Amino acid sequence: MKEFAFLSDGEQRYLSQIQGRTYANIFGLVERYINAKVLELSQDHWFGDQTALEALVRFSDEELKHQELFRRIEKLAAEGMPPGYRVIPQPDAVAQAVLSKSTWAVLALTLHIELFTQLHYRQSIEPDENLSPLFKDVFLFHWKEESQHAILDELEWVRSDRKISTEARDKAVNEFIELVVAVDGILQLPAEDSRYFAENCGRQLSADKRKELEAGVLLLRPAPAFHQSADEPDHRCTDRAYSVRARDADVGFEPRERGLKPATTCTTKRCCEPRSRGL
Ligand SMILES: [Fe+2]
Ligand SMILES: [Fe+2]
């Protein structure tokens, strides 16, 4: 987290607590649409592959659990902080907007979000020795379940990809880009964090300091890490590399036949070396 020279250690900690609260709320928010899409996709497996059906049902169950997890974090935070904190986007409204796009685009977005949880944990949460152990645990175990979801996202995305025409795929790529832009808008939430902090930090901050705070807090938003996964030149290739890595992580996931070549055969060297990029 960025240090602000004009903030005391206590103020700096308070700001990080506000941002942590928002970070948890953002996840709770996007998981609403993810679960709705997973439930919809599960209908395709009502008959036939019961293992696929079970995997999606458990995926859905975990996303419901995660939403409750983040609601509890919000409740804990609200008990210890003054009123006035706001999360402006509403989960149902966001879900309806996202779900108005094609399944291909929605799955592309979902896969990147699930991968982003892992990426951001490793980049920003795990190495920070000053973070609350509870906060770290929440996002460690959240990421471990998300990494399994990423594998299912990929399977469903490939299944969706096989069913659509070239024209429909082109349109879906544009929709995916629109969704990434929309998510970036949601991630502007931390601007609210700086407002809330300024109103509750116990002293009057000058207009310049408030501006500096707002600009600095915006730089801390998770978007850069999200973009890092979304900007890769070959999404399916990159995702395959990530997912195989997720599969190999200590999440107890046993690989099943996915109809995909292992990442080591990928020709895009850049995405086959996730560990060399510090992931
Ligand atoms: Fe989740
Ligand atoms: Fe998930």
Separation of CA 193 from chain center: 19
**Residue found under tokens 């801390």:** 220
Cα-to-centroid distance, 171 and ligand 1 (Å): 27
In the prediction, which pLDDT does 192 show?
86
The pLDDT score that the predictor gives to residue 202 is: 93
Give the integer Cα–Cα distance in Å for 126 and 220: 16
- Distance (angstroms) between ligand 1 centre and the Cα of 6 equals 36
By the CB criterion, residues less than 5 angstroms from ion ligand 1 are 31, 66
Please list, residue by residue across 247-259, b when 16 or more beta carbons sit within 10 angstroms of its beta carbon and e when fewer do.
beeeeeeeeeebe
pLDDT at residue 227 in the model: 53
Diameter over CA atoms, the chain = 64
Q: Which ligand is nearest to the CA of 142?
A: 1
10-residue stretch averages of pLDDT, the chain, 279 residues long? 83 92 92 97 97 98 97 95 92 94 98 92 91 94 95 97 97 96 77 91 93 76 50 40 39 33 33 32
The reported pLDDT for the residue numbered 185 is 79
Among all bound ligands, the one having the nearest atom to the CA of 28 is 1
Could you tell me the distance, in angstroms and rounded to a whole number, from the CA of residue 256 to the centre of ligand 1? Answer: 22
> What's residue 241's pLDDT?
41
Q: What is the rounded distance in angstroms from the CA atom of residue 190 to the CA atom of residue 20?
A: 10
Single-letter amino acid code for the residue at 231 = D
Ligand nearest to the CA of 29: 1
Q: Which domains does the chain have, with CATH numbers?
A: 9-277 (1.10.620)
Q: In the prediction, which pLDDT does 188 show?
A: 67
Helical segments of 43-102, H only:
50-80, 91-99
Contact 70, 27 (CB under 8 A): yes
pLDDT at 184: 81
Ligand at minimal distance from the CA of 67 is 1
Size of the chain, expressed as the number of residues it contains: 279
* Rounded distance from Cα 213 to ligand 2 centre (Å): 32
d(CA 19, CA 22): 5
Read off the tokens for 231.
């900007």
Which numbered ligand comes closest to the C-alpha of 31? 1
Residue-level pLDDT at 99: 97
CA of 189 to the centre of ligand 2 (A): 21
